[in-house]
Structure 1
Amino acid sequence: MRRWWSHVWPPFVAVLFFLAVWELCTSLFHIDKWILPSPVDIAKETADGAGDLWGHVWATVRLTLEGFIIGTAVGLVIALILHLIPFLKSALYPLLILSQNIPTIALAPLLMIWFGFGLLPKLIVITLVCFFPVAVATMGGLKQTDRVMLNYMRMIGANKRQIFAKLELPHALPAIFSGVKIAATYSVMGAVIAEWIGADKGIGYYMMLQKSGYRTDRMFVAIMVIVALSLLMFGIIALLERWLVRWKPKQES
């Protein structure tokens, strides 16, 4: 418990200090609320609008989870196929990198034109955001398999399936989880971007409404919700990693 607190209190104190400076500056310089609301104003607006905000939060959570699961699955499948078929990896890996050079916000309108304003284009947006870090991390982890153990398993007659299941995949789990944690945080961003383009509910839709009304305080409320969801997604995956990868040696503090 003490070790956990020693890692938590420095960023906790830094955040409190930042909020205190923010509150002090808005008070001393008399900054208008519509330009930069104070943390107290944001907290009050969060409490006052919690009832209306919850429906938007739940819509974004559902979209995020669906897109994250699909994007992670696609990334894992692509990584496994490219790992098992080296020729495909040399041919398609540059295309994977190229897919990340197209801004999601620019691609989303095209998806809406092609697939309409339903759920499918939103899931495609999140999948495009999530699959790449998972695929790259998985391929990197599979590539870094211990060569001594790999040669040993080949010497004792293990086939490719046994080598993959008992050596390559377990050895790659830490790298896979690193990619999944990145994808988990990106999935929230992807969901919000998808909702900006076309939705009738969700945090992205909520932000567009508040922008039109110059409700900066509510915009900050939405940003806080996005940050909280991203941290929650990251924390859940980190706990899952800690439970599944128990053999991973603990890093020295």
Structure 2
Amino acid sequence: MIFIKKYGASASLVLLFIIAWELGARIVNLGFILPTPTDVLRKLWELKEPLFLEHLPATLLIIGIGLMLSIVCGVGLAVWMSVNRTVEKTFYPLMISSQTIPIIALAPIFVLWFGYSIWSKVVVTVLITFFPITVNTYDGLKATSKEYRELLLTMGASKKDLFFKLQVPGSAPHFFSGLKVAVTMSVIGAAIGEWIGAQAGLGYFSRRMMTQFDGAGVFAPIIILSAVGILLFVSVSLLEKRTLKWRKSE
């Protein structure tokens, strides 16, 4: 009952969309352009072994490495900018400028630099996921309450105490907000990298199916990518609730 109350409207909208898609695709009857959802599910079942045993692990590896690098480097840079005004003035404008460059235009350059290895796809993923993690964490570190800061200072707190007892807990919700954006974007980054140049992966498989004019084959890995993004988002949300139990008490 709780699930129906919370997600009933969204589930109903998705169901209506799938029904409309099924009926519209049957009327158009151009499977190589617009396959029906049942055709996509059938193709997904037929190709389950190469998709789930070969291409899905390759994509998950790219996502995992990209997210790990973004978290480590993004949080590190956010902390550095929060304690050093010069670093903030140097790197913050560069991060903003980097978001104006279309990643799809840079992906072929990374293929030239790194070849068809995993690192060309990892770099694309990092570029997409680095920004939300860094900016949200930095905003959280800078948004700590002045009243709490002054209170801790009057109690003899050191800079180390202020950082670990005030800034880190205060910035945690911001970090998780950025991470929830980053995990969904990481799927897009990995798919873009694989689409441009790869030898395995769900994005690569979708592009290969497109060259064969197999509409259902193009959509099948996209369904898996969408499911991966949803599972990653839900996982981060559950981790946030478990880690930040004090927010419920507030």
TM norm structure 2: 0.95
C-alpha separation in 2, matches of 1:250 and 1:153: 22
Residue in 2 that maps onto 1:76: 75
Residue in 2 that maps onto 1:40: 38
In the TM superposition, residue 249 of structure 1 has moved relative to its aligned partner by 3.4
1:33 aligned counterpart, secondary structure = coil
Which runs of at least 4 in structure 1 moved beyond 3 Å after TM superposition? 2-5
1:66 aligns with 2:101: no
Most deviating of 99-108 and 128-137: 99-108
Q: Any conservation in 1 of the 2:66–2:125 contact (CA below 8 Å)?
A: yes
In the TM superposition, residue 250 of structure 1 has moved relative to its aligned partner by 7.4
Equivalent positions of 1:231-246 (< 5 A) are: 231-246=230-245
C-alpha separation in 2, matches of 1:97 and 1:193: 21
Most deviating of 210-219 and 118-127: 118-127
TM norm structure 1: 0.94
In the TM superposition, residue 30 of structure 1 has moved relative to its aligned partner by 4.0
> Percent same amino acid at aligned positions?
33
Q: Any conservation in 2 of the 1:19–1:39 contact (CA below 8 Å)?
A: yes
Residue in 1 that maps onto 2:133: 134
Residue in 1 that maps onto 2:208: 209
Q: Any conservation in 1 of the 2:209–2:217 contact (CA below 8 Å)?
A: yes
In the TM superposition, residue 194 of structure 1 has moved relative to its aligned partner by 1.2
Equivalent positions of 1:138-149 (< 5 A) are: 138-149=137-148
C-alpha separation in 1, matches of 2:136 and 2:15: 34
C-alpha separation in 1, matches of 2:58 and 2:120: 15
RMSD of equivalent CA atoms: 1.5
C-alpha separation in 2, matches of 1:73 and 1:5: 38
Task: Give 1:53's aligned amino acid.
Answer: L
The aligned length equals 249
C-alpha separation in 1, matches of 2:247 and 2:84: 28
C-alpha separation in 2, matches of 1:23 and 1:204: 24
In the TM superposition, residue 216 of structure 1 has moved relative to its aligned partner by 0.8
In the TM superposition, residue 127 of structure 1 has moved relative to its aligned partner by 1.0
C-alpha separation in 2, matches of 1:35 and 1:119: 30
Return 5+ residue gaps in structure 1 as ranges: none
Equivalent positions of 1:62-141 (< 5 A) are: 62-141=61-140
Residue in 1 that maps onto 2:7: 8
Q: Any conservation in 2 of the 1:68–1:130 contact (CA below 8 Å)?
A: yes
Return 5+ residue gaps in structure 2 as ranges: none
In the TM superposition, residue 65 of structure 1 has moved relative to its aligned partner by 1.0
Quickly say closer, same or farther: Cα 1:102–1:6, change in 2 above 3 A: same
